[in-house]
Amino acid sequence: MADHTLPSQRPAWAALKAHYGALRDRHLRDLFAADPGRGTRYTADAVGLFLDYSKNRATDETLKLLFALAGECGLKGRIASMFSGAKINVTEGRAVLHTALRAPKDAVITVDGKNVVPDVHAVLDAMSAFAERVRSGAWKGHTGKPIKTVVNIGIGGSDLGPVMANEALRFYAKRDLNFRFLSNVDGTDFAETVRDLDPAETLFIVCSKTFTTQETMTNAESARAWSLAALKDAASVAKHFVAVSTNAAEVAKFGIDTANMFGFWDWVGGRYSMDSAVGLSTVLALGGDQFRELLAGFRAMDEHFRTAPLDRNLPVIMGLLSVWYSSFFGAETVAVLPYDQYLKRFPAYLQQLTMESNGKRVTLGGASVDYQTGSVYWGEPGTNGQHSFYQLIHQGTKLIPCDFVAFCKSLNPVGRHHDLLTANVFAQAEALAFGKTADEVRADQAKAKKVDEALVPHKTFPGNRPSNVLLVDKLTPFALGTLVALYEHIVFTQGAIWDIGSFDQWGVELGKVLATQIVKELEGAPEPERHDPSTNALIARYRAARK
């Protein structure tokens, strides 16, 4: 029987609560003054990522208690369970094996008695071979022209990872192949995606784990109609549509040759799938070898997470600290601030990964939690965010832990740009932690001979705002793999401590069911009112406006 004692009932939780009372009012200035060594001691280095977590509101005692909590919650055993292929997604009765997607060829990972690794590599090989044909121009469209534009049609996990990777690794991509990503059921997304494309040179990837998602199938049908209207031959579908899915029957029903289907498995969650066949657009952009580099990065972080002692384990350290802020300080959000323009979609990608995973209010055993769980993850690349929302992080009333991601080397060295960029990362983390006292503001005023006591409170920075700084050599496919896997395992660590099911997503169902019903009421003959008064009135108003 699994032990579903609420973490809040565990001794380490109680100790952390008491410790929080003692630490709450201590300033990072004091913590650094009392222990200057923390600036280099609270660091960890693995697989090319250097983490400075010294600017967190934590001491040796905090860390000791957090690791004790991890022990009491069985974190190590849970990690081993995930990697072993145990069905830890209990509400769906599934294994959670995105780690198998990047396992080496000779690994053996069994699900229901079958080693899944050979199938993973067979799909990888098929993706690489297909990508090579498209990239070289050997794959021809129906009229004999090579493919110029690839449109990935998908949503959620079948979109966000591919979009993010396409941006993040653009530097390494084949530039004469264009990529677009069609996700929203809003017809505008479809219209703007295809408006200047030539159907004879366009390849659609219909990317859907289930191949039943309303948005994706609606877009795929519109794309097929658009393509057929120009190419005028049902046989053209085989040349212009390929599928990524776990559902061969639905793929065939749609009219795509299952020979052009790249499969994956129910043990890959949508938001953990960018390194499965869902990454087909990434393989097309980068080629098979560089995609394998990305996978190697994921794998390196997997191995680190699986084997490193908890106190040197990056995802564990970051995961536990985020639990500390969420469940003890009551912090509601985490800002992820990549200082690299190529990572501009990284925060959006993390939103699904973190919030669809840990936006849960009952434990695995079904009990209501009595503590805060998943945080709201958000962010924008620096330095743009500094001129937008950083004000609130510095001087607002909310506690917002920040993750800064920075690179030592630029992929596009231009003049002093990179030093300026990086100076801003370090400056922001320093300003958040240490702030500026009222006396320091007064001293500045005195120096400038502009004493104005009324301005002092406005110019004071309280500081004591925590952050992590992740420093990476440079953005490569390998480095991106390590970063994504880092956050996957942070999410796992959080979920393990909170004892929640990080791998299901029942919360997305109700809206889908209601929308399926409501669309009939919008389009069909008037029906008796069946909703709440607000929804009934909105439906009536829309119908009247559409007449």
In the complex with ligand F6P, the residue whose CB is nearer, 324 or 349, is 349
Nearest approach in angstroms of CB 476 to ligand F6P is 26
Residue of the chain from 183, 208, 354, 428 that contacts ligand F6P (CB under 6 A): 208
User: Is position 28 an interface residue for ligand F6P (rule: CB under 6 A)?
Assistant: no
Q: Identify whether 418 is a catalytic site residue.
A: no
User: Is position 157 an interface residue for ligand F6P (rule: CB under 6 A)?
Assistant: yes
Residue of the chain from 357, 471, 505, 539 that contacts ligand F6P (CB under 6 A): 505
CA atoms within 13 A on the CB side of 364: 24
Q: Identify whether 512 is a catalytic site residue.
A: yes
Rounded Cα distance between 19 and 171, Å, is: 47
Instruction: Tell me the one-letter amino acid at 391.
Output: Q
Nearest approach in angstroms of CB 327 to ligand F6P is 25
| 356-385: contacts with ligand F6P (CB under 6 A) | 356
User: Is position 354 an interface residue for ligand F6P (rule: CB under 6 A)?
Assistant: no
Rounded Cα distance between 547 and 545, Å, is: 6
- CB-based contacts of 17: which residues, under 8 Å, 6+ apart? 328
Rounded Cα distance between 267 and 101, Å, is: 10
Instruction: Tell me the one-letter amino acid at 340.
Output: D
User: Is position 156 an interface residue for ligand F6P (rule: CB under 6 A)?
Assistant: yes
Nearest approach in angstroms of CB 505 to ligand F6P is 5
- CB-based contacts of 296: which residues, under 8 Å, 6+ apart? 102, 478, 481
Residue 383: cis peptide before it, omega within 30 degrees of 0 = yes
Token pair of 26 as six digits: 């201590």
- The residue annotated as part of the active site, out of 105, 387, 450, 547, is 387
- CB-based contacts of 507: which residues, under 8 Å, 6+ apart? 356, 359, 360
Instruction: Tell me the one-letter amino acid at 205.
Output: I
Per DSSP, the three-state class of 165 is: helix
Nearest approach in angstroms of CB 406 to ligand F6P is 29
User: Is position 466 an interface residue for ligand F6P (rule: CB under 6 A)?
Assistant: no
Q: Which residues pair with 49 in a beta bridge?
A: 46, 472
In the complex with ligand F6P, the residue whose CB is nearer, 35 or 92, is 92
Nearest approach in angstroms of CB 427 to ligand F6P is 37
Closest alpha carbon to 139 in 206, 196, 74, 201: 201
User: Is position 209 an interface residue for ligand F6P (rule: CB under 6 A)?
Assistant: yes
Q: What is the DSSP letter of 339?
A: S
| 261-300: contacts with ligand F6P (CB under 6 A) | 270-271
In the complex with ligand F6P, the residue whose CB is nearer, 216 or 468, is 216
Q: Identify whether 417 is a catalytic site residue.
A: no
- The residue annotated as part of the active site, out of 356, 380, 488, 521, is 356
Catalog residues that contact ligand F6P under the rule CB under 6 A: 155-158, 208-210, 213, 216, 270-271, 356, 505, 508
Residues recognised as catalytic: 356, 387, 512
